Structure 1
């Protein structure tokens, strides 16, 4: 590398022009400098502080990773963590992120090594963004009053909408998942769901709007077994491992200690309310990471879905859930469950509810910290918060 020192100004000029290390090496060799490999140029640039604009120093990357590991727990490896950092606006290579993860938290690295899984390759084809939209529900925390619903585009694998609710509900799924996905991205040719009744309102609107699709030759929707809803089923292990199982562990421990009475409506209501909020924080992080991470051989979901669906529809064609619910009941003569609550709402008036929520918020102003602790195997803050919420609620009912 000492042979490069006389050419410092030249190398700095080439670097400033935007050339890569390999391109600088090639240019120097063409000028007659035979012993100037790409690695030599890289070391020279590092020694002289030549960094690309927007690049992240090792100290900055370590600091970001320490906070991100605190927020996501041990299961985020180099690919998912790279996606998570990218979603926060910090860009670094997968190999570099993996190296720093190994150095920063060796125990977590070993856990990921021991938990490595082989994926079952299954034939699947979607021609373009907007070909297939997969909807599915997750009830791993169902006994505690938490249900997740995802909508995933089959071509890009991008999670285009999601929602967390106490009990799966047609109106909430239509409003927060199907309507949100179509308004923001366009009209899918085909919606794919399992045979559950919770998607009836979505399928009703998909059929009503079927003439606005790009390819009218396809059926507007398909109902299949859960095992054939491939794109979205692939995501649930990621959500379970990173969100549901840590929370379930904390709640099961309270059950074992007989702190929770599952027959008590106040307990059920508070447990569902808090766990929905906390799990939504974790789900948001998984969604952001998934959409920003690179899928080998395919690409980054956010980039693959950047242009949206080929067919666009006006928001006026997608009324709110209450309007669509009334249309559904009038057209089909069927009834919908309009509101789903886990347990029973214990508050007799809105004023009491506001007082209880204010007191709880004073004790726990940032519930994202609760999730940070649970995902890092510290269940106590979440358990204490739940007990606090139950005690505060009991004072106002």
Structure 2
């Protein structure tokens, strides 16, 4: 090979962390012949020059196939690369894309036929901590599932999320707003729609407004949902990867009269199991989103690594109960402290534990329910739900 005389030079560059492209450039600079990118790659392969933690194509294929069983058909090369990185598996987008095409061609065809969601409206956030977007998703609301996300406008990182049966001010404040500020610092401005469920979060944001980095900005803005750009961009991804597969399973049960959503015990079981199963998918989607590369911008986790410029003490962040009391006393308004989808049918904790034990004997790992549903096998989730309803009716 024409590069044999440069073996030591190439090895030093490779071990110093240079990419194949950078090595080719260095060889061209010193006048080496036949030093294209592909030639360097073949040379490194022939001389067993591999990166640390290198994953072979065979191993990567197995990991991708396993990941597909957990994520379904909608994860393309970028999202799948992000998801694999959360599992500690590092591989380039090109390799992941090639293996995705090879290991499951039907899913690849579906992705190629799918429409892209493009947002032509200009948007600007100066830094991490400039704008925090909060929004709710009720695609599964009729079955007692509501998601709420908080997204940083600069990095697009999802900094907090929660799944609940019915949207509630105290839960959203504690699990989304308070959790995001405690972990990352104060945002200059909160962006929400006109929903009442964000009132407590906005109240505390205004109370703490003097602790922001830029106090010249309004502490919050309420706009129409269509203008809450950063978080609205993410909901189609969540719907495709989490909500719609579960909704198909539930609607099918309703259509076949297997579910009576007017029955209290049924409502209680539906929201209980669906909240838990959908949260599994939501966590996977959130982690993958935060680790994937956004073209022209970067990786959300990397862009948000420094957090907000203004940090505050946890002592300044009241608990949900304290914040609610302050809100009601100062404004003379009332909040719903607890929201439920149906009522608890059990008369004692012992009855509840017995029903749960019956269910767990049949379905000890509910992650499998989501894995199967997202891969278009709805029967296991449906059977598990009917099992839970039967157990509840037995002991309630």
TM range (shorter): over 0.9
CA distance in 1: counterparts of 2:264 and 2:363, whole angstroms: 23
Quick one: structure 1 residues 57 and 169, their matched pair in 2 at CA, closer, same or farther if it must change by over 3 Å? same
Match of 2:154 in 1: 155
Work out whether 1:351 is the aligned partner of 2:357.
Answer: no
CA distance in 1: counterparts of 2:327 and 2:166, whole angstroms: 20
CA distance in 1: counterparts of 2:14 and 2:126, whole angstroms: 41
Alignment of 1:277-288 (within 5 A): 277-288=276-287
* Alignment size in residue pairs: 396
Match of 1:108 in 2: 107
Match of 1:194 in 2: 193
User: CA contact under 8 A between 2:72 and 2:374: conserved in structure 1?
Assistant: yes
TM-score between both structures, scaled by the size of structure 1 = 0.96
**C-alpha RMSD of matched pairs (Å):** 1.6
Alignment of 1:44-193 (within 5 A): 44-193=43-192
CA distance in 1: counterparts of 2:164 and 2:21, whole angstroms: 52
User: CA contact under 8 A between 2:2 and 2:33: conserved in structure 1?
Assistant: no
Alignment of 1:1-397 (within 5 A): 2-5=1-4, 8=7, 11-25=10-24, 33-397=32-396
CA distance in 1: counterparts of 2:338 and 2:131, whole angstroms: 29
CA distance in 2: counterparts of 1:155 and 1:246, whole angstroms: 31
- Report the secondary structure of 1:151's partner residue: strand
Q: Which runs of 5+ in 2 are unaligned?
A: none
- Report the secondary structure of 1:235's partner residue: helix
- Report the secondary structure of 2:288's partner residue: helix
Quick one: structure 1 residues 247 and 33, their matched pair in 2 at CA, closer, same or farther if it must change by over 3 Å? same
Instruction: After TM superposition, give the deviation of residue 120 of structure 1 in Å.
Output: 2.7
Tell me whether 273-282 or 117-126 shows the greater mean CA deviation: 117-126
- Report the secondary structure of 1:160's partner residue: strand
CA distance in 2: counterparts of 1:44 and 1:17, whole angstroms: 17
CA distance in 2: counterparts of 1:14 and 1:123, whole angstroms: 42
Quick one: structure 1 residues 378 and 131, their matched pair in 2 at CA, closer, same or farther if it must change by over 3 Å? same
CA distance in 1: counterparts of 2:173 and 2:56, whole angstroms: 45
Q: Provide Cα deviations, 1:55-74, integer angstroms capped at 9, x if missing partner.
A: 22111211110011110000
CA distance in 2: counterparts of 1:303 and 1:201, whole angstroms: 30
TM-score between both structures, scaled by the size of structure 2 = 0.96
Instruction: After TM superposition, give the deviation of residue 279 of structure 1 in Å.
Output: 0.3
- Report the secondary structure of 2:74's partner residue: coil
